[in-house]
């Protein structure tokens, strides 16, 4: 049996960060990853980075083949960079699937080869996997893909169906529409983007449809099957036929391969590993970070989990999950839709004393310079405390501007500060001056 100070299971953002930092702090560290294609984790290999690379390639009007080649080159480069980074930090990278034998013993399996590893500190960072909902034929029909498979197509589908109208589904809808597919989104929900400001959700739907994407809401799928190479989606309202179908029905914590039944590690009803404010599981010395612990499924949340665990292991433990503040999000539509905090409806439902204001991008000088008048800004503020309650930015560059708001909210800077802030010109950010005048 090989003995380490720290074993990390999974090469995700939190895992690789902790492995490198703890190794540099003098610990003997092993990182176990079952797939060389996932060095660096989901984001770099099958998530944020490849999809955004494809979006940029599509916006440059590259062909489908050129866009895929560009994506593959970027992924290969960053995959190798992550592997080399850990090797330079003297981390033992073990290519194998990890399963628990007991609380502090892991069996690493690679084909017929098996070896046992043990450590007083074990960090689980196995991420999330596609949630396959029980629709007859979904798992067995040809030309049906999850968000990973849809990135590996060799030919552009002429007709692409997207099952699910959440972040993943809509981002791929916009991407493949730009690449040249005829895209149809089928969403079971009756309301489009229910967690967004309703007025801005309506704008987003309008723009997607103007771009040529068909969106059907309240669609209940009963079966998926093939007619030759076609994918047939059978619903309560009729059939839809596609050359390929993407199902984007969410992701769930990836715990199944871990054999947690052999340990005292508890999981929730939804399959997430239970953790405390230090990301420690119900087994002392075993931690779960990133998507696997049931938190928000974002790379930057995984990174923040790493800060929490490092503070506990190598610091004074003062930074915990309880210290996490406001979390910005961005949906990479055209234009991007970024938001943080409460919507107006949520503020009203909480009974807060609030005011809300919305401004169309079309009234902003920089938008005319950019020749892109689509989008809107919206702010919700507390009229008594002067705190910013929430902001939605639907515009080119929103993914960058939202971080300005995050800093302000985290530091409780009153919204009135923005009315006097000096911004460079001409920019879209300078319109925050006017957004916060109530």
Q: Point out the catalytic residue in the list 216, 220, 278, 425.
A: 425
Using CA atoms, how far apart are residues 175 and 333, in angstroms rounded to an integer?
9
Beta bridge partners, 14, equal: none
Using CA atoms, how far apart are residues 95 and 36, in angstroms rounded to an integer?
7
Using CA atoms, how far apart are residues 107 and 111, in angstroms rounded to an integer?
12
Using CA atoms, how far residue 310 sits from 164, 289, 304, 341, in Å, is 37, 11, 10, 27
Strands (E), 256-415: 286-288, 329-331, 337-341, 354-360, 376-382, 388-394
Using CA atoms, how far apart are residues 246 and 174, in angstroms rounded to an integer?
13
119 token code pair: 């450590």
Check if 220 is active-site: no
Report the 3 state secondary structure along 140-154. Answer: CCCCEECCCHHHHCC
Nearest C-alpha neighbor of 415 from the set 381, 377, 378, 384: 381
Catalytic residues: 425
């Amino acid at each position: 049996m090989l003995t380490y100070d720290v074993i990390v299971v999974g090469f995700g953002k939190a895992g690789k960060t902790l492995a490198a930092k703890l190794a540099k702090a003098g610990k003997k560290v092993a990182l176990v990853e079952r797939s060389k294609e996932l060095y660096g984790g989901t984001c770099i290999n099958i998530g944020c980075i490849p999809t955004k690379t494809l979006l940029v390639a599509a916006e440059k009007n590259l062909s489908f083949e050129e866009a895929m080649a560009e994506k593959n080159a970027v992924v290969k480069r960053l995959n190798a960079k992550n592997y080399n980074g850990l090797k330079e930090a003297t981390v033992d990278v073990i290519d194998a699937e990890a399963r628990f034998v007991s609380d502090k013993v892991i069996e690493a399996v690679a084909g017929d080869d098996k070896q046992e590893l043990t450590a007083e500190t074990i960090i689980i960072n196995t991420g999330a996997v596609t949630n396959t909902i029980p629709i007859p034929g979904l798992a067995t029909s040809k030309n049906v893909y999850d968000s990973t498979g849809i990135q590996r197509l060799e030919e552009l589908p002429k007709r692409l169906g997207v099952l699910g109208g959440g972040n993943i589904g809509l981002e791929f809808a916009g991407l493949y529409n730009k690449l040249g597919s005829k895209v149809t989104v089928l969403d079971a929900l009756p309301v489009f983007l229910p967690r967004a400001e309703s007025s801005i959700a309506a704008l987003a739907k309008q723009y997607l449809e103007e771009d040529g994407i068909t969106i059907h809401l309240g669609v209940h799928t009963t079966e998926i099957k093939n007619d030759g190479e076609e994918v047939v989606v059978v619903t309560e309202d009729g059939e839809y036929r596609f050359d390929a179908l993407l199902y984007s029905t969410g992701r769930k914590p990836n715990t199944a391969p871990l054999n947690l039944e052999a340990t005292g590690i508890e999981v929730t009803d939804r399959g997430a590993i239970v953790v405390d404010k230090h990301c420690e599981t119900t087994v002392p010395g075993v931690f779960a970070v990133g998507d696997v612990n049931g938190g928000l499924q974002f790379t930057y949340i995984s990174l923040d989990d790493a800060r929490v665990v490092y503070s506990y292991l190598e610091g004074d433990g003062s930074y915990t999950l309880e210290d996490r503040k406001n979390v910005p999000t961005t949906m990479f539509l055209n234009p991007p839709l970024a938001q943080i905090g409460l919507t107006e409806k949520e503020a009203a439902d909480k009974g807060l004393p609030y005011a809300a204001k919305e401004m169309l991008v079309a009234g902003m000088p920089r938008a005319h310079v950019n020749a892109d008048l689509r989008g809107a800004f919206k702010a919700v503020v507390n009229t008594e405390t002067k705190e910013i309650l929430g902001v939605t930015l639907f515009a080119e560059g929103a993914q960058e501007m939202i971080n300005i708001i995050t800093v302000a909210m985290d530091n409780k800077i009153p919204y009135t500060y923005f009315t006097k802030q000096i911004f460079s010109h001409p920019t879209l950010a300078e319109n925050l001056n006017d957004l916060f005048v109530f």
